[in-house]
Amino acid sequence: MLQASSRLLSLSSVDLAIIVLYFIAVLGIGFYLKRYTKTGEDFFLAGREMTAWVAGLSFLAANLGSLELMGWAGAAYQYGILAAHWYWVGAIPAMLLLATVMIPFYYISKTHSVPGYLKLRFGEPARALSAFSFGFMTVLMSGINMYAMAVVLQVVLGWDIYFSIWVSSITVAVYVGLGGLLSAIFNEVLQFVLIWLGALLVSIIGLVEAGGWNGMVARIHANYPGQNFTHLWSTMGSFKDNPMGIHWVAIVFGLGVFISMGYWTTDFLVVQRVIAAKDLRSAKLAPIIGSAFKMCVPFIVILPGLLGLAFLPKGFLVAENATSVLHPFKYDYVLPIMMARYFGPGLLGLGITALIAGFMSGMAGNVSAFSTVWTYDIYRAIFRKNAGDAHYVSVGRWCTILGVLVSIGTAYLVMSFKSIMDYVQALFSFFIAPLFGTVLLGMMWKRTTPAGGFWGLLAGTTSSIGMFLWVKHDPTALRYIALSPNAKDMAENMFRALWSGLICVTVTVVVSLLTKPKPESELTGLVYGCTPIPSEGDMPVYKRPIFWAGVVAAVFVAIQIIFW
Amino acid sequence: MHRPGMISIWFFIGALLLIYGLLICGAGIYEAVTPPTAASIAEANLRWEGVRNLHAGIWWGGLLIILGAIYTIKFAPRKGN
């Protein structure tokens, strides 16, 4: 039986050199790009000059934060391959919807942000509600990511938690503050490459040890008889049949429709990367390129979790809230622990760099999006409407530092009150599902009115908060929210998103039908039917975004069948 | 991103991968010719015995060198670029 110790690994000088070189590289890129970041368009939208590949990789990297990498590897150790739903049905359809349907409206309207689109379509109240909730939640999530990474580095490597927090966040503040979104995007592409090269080898060596996929599945079945960790859909017919305690209705409609489409099509953290593309075709291709890579991410995140089930002794990793002197390692540590199992000197440095890069790309994404929304949608809209461009760039730089400091403050707060993590993550979900309903109706239905958009968004958000508080106050209420006494926590999140999204859509439709719509002349560039979309008719089929979206969709369906 | 005089991000990536490849490949070769150093009990128990025979550091480092060299050369800043 493995002995537990307070520190699992020690790094060699080569490992440390690799990590130090990484910090020098990202800071160097930030200093280099400062000379190219002079106007607001440069700082907040990277000059709208990104190629499809750079925008697409950055679009995905901004999402690959430390919770995404280590948290979902841990979820795979806990729930098996079901965790891959968050990468497949919980991402791919939404990314393709963004590329093929929604991007033209974001791009043609020339908005700086998602709250900015809401202002153009629904007016100032909808923008204010969205901007404040997004700005507030973004920096809080950034702090939680920071805390999650620092804890893993402390337990696995013995690094001081405060050292990890301050060094990594100051680095992000410097390179985003200097080069704005341009620097964030360039570094995200670098970080994306490092994440893949650092984590991919765990899966390759793991499959060699297991003797391939079938060998790994056989070992998992031997370790956990009677439990099904390796099928994606076949156990979803009943809440009782799968380790997640969830039903396919929740996964398809709660996750696949409202949460996923809410996140990937309206969260400005990711949308900002796409609207920085150099033209409409690149903006459409960027999420398609991102979706192709997103489909592959389970190979570096979910597979290490499954390998942990196959090779780590039962009980070696425990739940987040479990405390044991013998077993101090939580589910979320499975990725660095599998790195420790397979990596020697040098490779271990690359693996740890991949984890740090994941954290920093996520944090830079949060901070750059926060800086844009705060400057354009709060500061300029409310406090100072007609200042010069240089003034707003200066405010953006200060907001970057402010965002990092608030994130650090959140990380300190979480250290003292760990339950804050649950609340903040739940808070984030309160806004996402209803916002999707509001934006989609706004883009697709001319009849949607400003009052309908605002009240629908407010009703969806408050109903989501109400359901959350109801279950917190009375846990048996879960059976009503999730429609089954056998439902578990994860099912609650999915069903809550489903109901709040439906409430938002219903209220928006009803209020819109009772109020006066905007004249069509004010909807040009914002709504389907009022916006001339540039034709791609003269382009060869293989160059059209819709063709590649079809290819990705076909591969997505094939994967679902293979792992059914 | 196409601004006059701006170095491509792919050049930075290539250069970093090249240096990483040299370091990792070198560490892999050193590890292959020297006996393993003493590790903590937890670390020793956690490691898969067979991993030493794979020499992953050497071929993964080699892969990084090749990738790094290709990108460094292809996207190197040139006069008039």
* Tokens, residue A442: 């706004």
Higher per-residue pLDDT: B22 or A179: B22
pLDDT for the residue A4 = 39
Taking CB atoms and an 8 Å limit, are A54 and B1 in contact across chains? yes
* pLDDT above 70 for A498: yes
Higher per-residue pLDDT: A474 or B4: A474
CA distances from A545 to A93, A139, A230, A532, A539 (A): 15, 33, 33, 18, 10
Q: Closest Cα of chain A to B16: distance in Å?
A: 8
Would you call A2 helix, strand, or coil by DSSP? coil
**How many Cβ atoms are within 10 Å of A295's Cβ, its own excluded?**
19
| Mutation to test the B interface, candidates A343, A348, A361, most B Cβ within 10 Å | A343
Residue of B nearest to A340 (CA): B47
Give the pLDDT mean for A30-39.
Answer: 88
pLDDT for the residue A257 = 85
Burial class (CB in 10 A: 0-12, 13-18, 19+), A395: buried
* pLDDT above 60 for A154: yes
Q: Residue with structure tokens 């934006």?
A: A439
Give the pLDDT mean for A204-226.
Answer: 92
pLDDT for the residue A5 = 46
* pLDDT above 90 for A107: no
* Confidence class for position B29, pLDDT limits 50, 70, 90: very high
What ipTM goes with this model?
0.91
Q: Residue with structure tokens 């590897």?
A: A73
* Confidence class for position B44, pLDDT limits 50, 70, 90: low
Burial class (CB in 10 A: 0-12, 13-18, 19+), A549: buried
- A17 near B CB under 8 A: yes
- The long-range contacts involving A148-154, CB below 8 angstroms and separated by at least 24 positions, are A148/A66, A148/A67, A148/A70, A148/A71, A148/A332, A149/A66, A149/A70, A149/A355, A149/A356, A149/A359, A150/A411, A152/A66, A152/A70, A152/A332, A152/A333, A152/A336, A152/A355, A153/A352, A153/A355
Q: Closest Cα of chain B to A32: distance in Å?
A: 9
Q: How many residues does chain B have?
A: 81
Residue A19: partners with Cβ closer than 8 Å, 6 or more residues away: A11, A349, A352, A353, A356
- A519 near B CB under 8 A: no
The residues pairing with A50 across neighbouring beta strands, listed in sequence order, are A277
Give the pLDDT mean for A79-90.
Answer: 92
**CA–CA separation, A271 vs A234, rounded Å?**
34
* Confidence class for position A3, pLDDT limits 50, 70, 90: very low
**CA–CA separation, A115 vs A138, rounded Å?**
14
* Residues A240-260: tens digit of each pLDDT: 878 788 888 888 988 888 888
pLDDT for the residue B39 = 61
Residue of B nearest to A190 (CA): B13
Q: Closest Cα of chain A to B58: distance in Å?
A: 10
Q: Closest Cα of chain A to B63: distance in Å?
A: 10
CA distances from B1 to A30, A44, A372 (A): 15, 15, 20
pLDDT for the residue A2 = 39
Higher per-residue pLDDT: A304 or A484: A304
Give the pLDDT mean for A448-469.
Answer: 91
Higher per-residue pLDDT: A417 or A369: A369
* Distance from chain centroid for Cα A495: 19
- B29 near A CB under 8 A: no
- A555 near B CB under 8 A: no
Would you call A318 helix, strand, or coil by DSSP? strand
Per residue in A423-454, is it b (16+ CB within 10 Å) or e — as a string?
ebbbbbbbbbbbbbbbbbbbbebbebbbbbbb
Evaluate whether A136 touches A400 at the Cβ level (below 8 Å): no
* Tokens, residue A315: 């009980």
- B58 near A CB under 8 A: no
* Confidence class for position A44, pLDDT limits 50, 70, 90: confident
- B49 near A CB under 8 A: no
Taking CB atoms and an 8 Å limit, are A342 and B51 in contact across chains? yes
* Residues A264-299: tens digit of each pLDDT: 988 888 888 888 888 889 999 999 999 999 999 999
CA angle A371, A58, A528 (to 5 degrees): 80
Phi, psi for A430 (deg, rounded to 5): -60, -35
Taking CB atoms and an 8 Å limit, are B47 and A32 in contact across chains? no
* Residues A386-396: tens digit of each pLDDT: 888 889 999 98
* pLDDT above 70 for A1: no
